[in-house]
Structure 1
């Protein structure tokens, strides 16, 4: 525990630290408010996007299952191997109250039938339909990934900021105020003792003068 010296300078120092702590708490509240606002906005988007993604994944999986049941697995394995290709992705960030929000700029995920790499003669229309559905899934998945990462970062920072706010409000400021009160009390007691001592000295002086 920090040793507290009952001096005027220490009293002024405590008052200054209390002001700084209160100001810091207000700044943290403002920052937390901005973070929560962005969290609410992105949180609503990510929930909608994840719900749509779940539906699209389920639909694409069902379509793939039906197509494999009709054509067998081998044509799809072969087409998937031939169609392997990357998607150009550029990641940007913007700052919201010091938190980096991720935004993804991606190239075209959906491809034309002639651009998927497999032979159109050797494949059925069902393979094209499956490829198109899974390209749509990938497109939405990239959007959801950026949203979810940003929401997680915001949630972590909101929790961290809240802890700091609570520490200032419930620990730091009360401790400083208690120290200020103790210092004030000691200084007041000293001042009272000095007044009593001074009165005694004056009284003794008057009595000594009267005797002389």
Structure 2
């Protein structure tokens, strides 16, 4: 333990430090609880989203395989080139206990038959089904990307908050309490010594007065 000044002001200062440290620890506990709650909610959404992607990707793969078997590869590839288009994506954040959680605003990925860019005459219901099934998968992937980024940020902040909370609870607060106890003990010993010295002085004065 480092040397501390054994004075009344030091004792009062340590009491104030202990109060601030315990308040900080409690605030970190509350923050950690809020972060864990959001982490659990988004984590469940991630698992659900992954399950849906697996399901929809399987559907898309089977739909594509059937279309290739019936239509042939060339018309499907041609429709794919014609339907290629950018997706407008805007990333925004919201704060959860000070952590920026990501949310994605995007243009609609699912399109009508007339909005995919290829000729309705030269395509078929099977090609439309392939396009729609892969559009569903893309939407799922965009949702999952935002969820995973948010979950990763929350996990990092939970770990950081836990380290700070533990440092206060198990290191800083106990050290301050021990230092406060040490200062209080030294001050009590000094007061006791002063009282004993005062008694001796009074006794000595009384003896001197008797002798005179």
- Specify the alignment match of 1:140 in structure 2: 140
Select between 119-128 and 102-111 the one with higher mean Cα deviation. Answer: 119-128
Give the aligned length.
212
Provide the C-alpha distance between the structure 2 equivalents of 1:187 and 1:65, rounded to a whole number of angstroms: 86
CA distance in 2, matches of 1:180, 1:77: 77
Q: Which residue does 1:14 correspond to in 2?
A: 14
Q: CA deviation at 1:81?
A: 2.4
Measured against aligned partners, the alpha-carbon deviations of 1:125-175 in whole angstroms (never above 9, x if no partner) come to 432221110001111211222222222222222222122111111111101
The alpha carbon displacement at 1:8 in A equals 0.9
Q: Which residue of 2 aligns with 1:180?
A: 180
* 1:117 maps onto 2:117 in alignment: yes
Q: CA RMSD in A?
A: 1.9
Superimposed CA distance per residue, residues 156-212 of structure 1 (whole angstroms, 9 cap, x where no aligned partner):
222221221111111111010010111111111111111111122222222222222
Distance in structure 1 (CA, Å) of the matches to 2:53 and 2:122: 31
- CA shift, 1:52, in A, is 0.8
Output the CA distance in 2 between the equivalents of 1:175 and 1:58: 59
Task: Name the residue aligned to 1:190.
Answer: 190
- Residues in 2 aligned to 1:67 and 1:18: alpha-carbon distance in whole angstroms: 71
User: Structure 1: how far apart are the matches of 2:4 and 2:81?
Assistant: 74
Mean Cα deviation higher: 51-60 or 37-46: 37-46
1:126 aligns with 2:126: yes
Structure 1 spans left out of the alignment, 5+ residues: none
Residue 66 (structure 2) pairs with residue 53 (structure 1) = no
Moved more, 89-98 or 20-29: 89-98
